[in-house]
Structure formats: structure tokens, C-alpha cells
Amino acid sequence: RPPGGRAPEEEKAKRRRRRAAKVEAEGEGGDGGPAEEGAGAGAGAGDGGDNKPPPSSSTSDPPPVVPFESKTDAHWDYVLKEMMWLGADFQSERKSHLSAATRTAAAVRQFHRTKESRRNRELADFEVKRRRLAGRMAREVVGGRGWWGKIDRVVGHKRRV
């Protein structure tokens, strides 16, 4: 069955039924129609007087409608079904590949963002370590028990001697 519609066989059968119903409605309501007018002129003209129009090709009765029978699938029908399936399969494959590519691109963007932020964080940590080291050295140099304190002790010791 094609997507979003009826099978072609069902459509054909439906059209045939409509046509048959329309023809039957026209045939029943013929009050003095063109087919009956010709019947009066032909009466008594050697046709036996049975008031029936002579059989001709101009009668309004169509050939009887034969109900549609579904045929068995031929090779071409299988080929068409396979083509429809293959088209749908390609479409779904394309869609899945596109979504996978989108996910991969998002992951790459995220990786580079985190790489940049990781580098910035490492630089900031390095700067903090440098400041702490500089502060520790400054406290040792300036502080009472640090380097200058030792120098003062050496100077005091030399004065005593």
C-alpha cells in the first residue's frame, strides 16, 4: 500500500462500482428517452410487433461490470515494492547519519571548549602558585625569623666579638 493512500487496485474497483451505479440509475429512469422513441417508429415494420427496439450498437446499456479480482503479483510488482522499501531505507539511513554527524560535531565543539577552559584553569592555577611562592619568599626575607633575622643575629654576634 503506498504511503498515505489506497492501493491502486482498490481505487480502480471503487471507480468501477461508481460507474456501474451511475449507469443503473440512468437506465431505470428513462421515461420517453431517446432509446424508447426509436422503438415506436420501428413497431409494425416487420419486427413481429413486440415493441422492443432492434438490437443495435446504440443501446445505452454498457457491458456488464465484472467485479475486480486481485491479480497475483508479477515480478515487476516485487521490483516496485523493493524500490519503495529501498527508498525508505535510504531516507532513514540518511536521517540517522545526519543525526550522528550532528552529535559528533556537538561533541567536538564541547571538547574544544573544555580544552580551552582547562588551559585557562591551568594558567590561573600556575599564577596562584607563583603568587604563593612569592608571598612565602617575601615573608621569609622581611619576617623576624627569616633571612633578615638571621643576618641581624650574625651582625649582633660580630659586634659582641
Residue 91's SS3 state is: helix
Q: Determine the pLDDT at residue 63.
A: 76
Contact in structure between 141 and 152 (CB atoms under 8 Å): no
pLDDT tens per residue, the chain (161 residues)?
A: 555 566 678 888 888 888 888 888 877 655 545 544 444 444 444 545 556 555 555 567 777 777 777 778 889 999 999 999 999 999 999 999 999 999 999 999 999 999 989 999 999 999 999 999 999 888 877 776 667 777 888 888 888 87
Cell digits of residue 26: 440512468
Whole-model pTM: value is 0.34
Integer angstrom CA distances of residue 88 from 6, 7, 38, 93, 125: 18, 18, 60, 9, 55
Closest CA to 146 of 133, 137, 135: 137
Would you mind telling me the total number of residues written for the chain in this entry? 161
CA torsion angle 113 114 115 118 (round to 10): 130
Dig out the grid coordinates for 125 from the structure: 592555577
CA dihedral 45, 47, 48, 49 (to 10 degrees): -60
Helical H segments across the chain, by residue range: 8-28, 34-42, 75-142, 147-160
Per-residue confidence (pLDDT) for residue 41, from 0 to 100? 47
- From residue 38, give the alpha-carbon distance in Å to each of 17, 30, 43, 55, 90: 30, 13, 9, 12, 65
Q: How many CA atoms lie within 13 A of 71 on its CB side?
A: 9
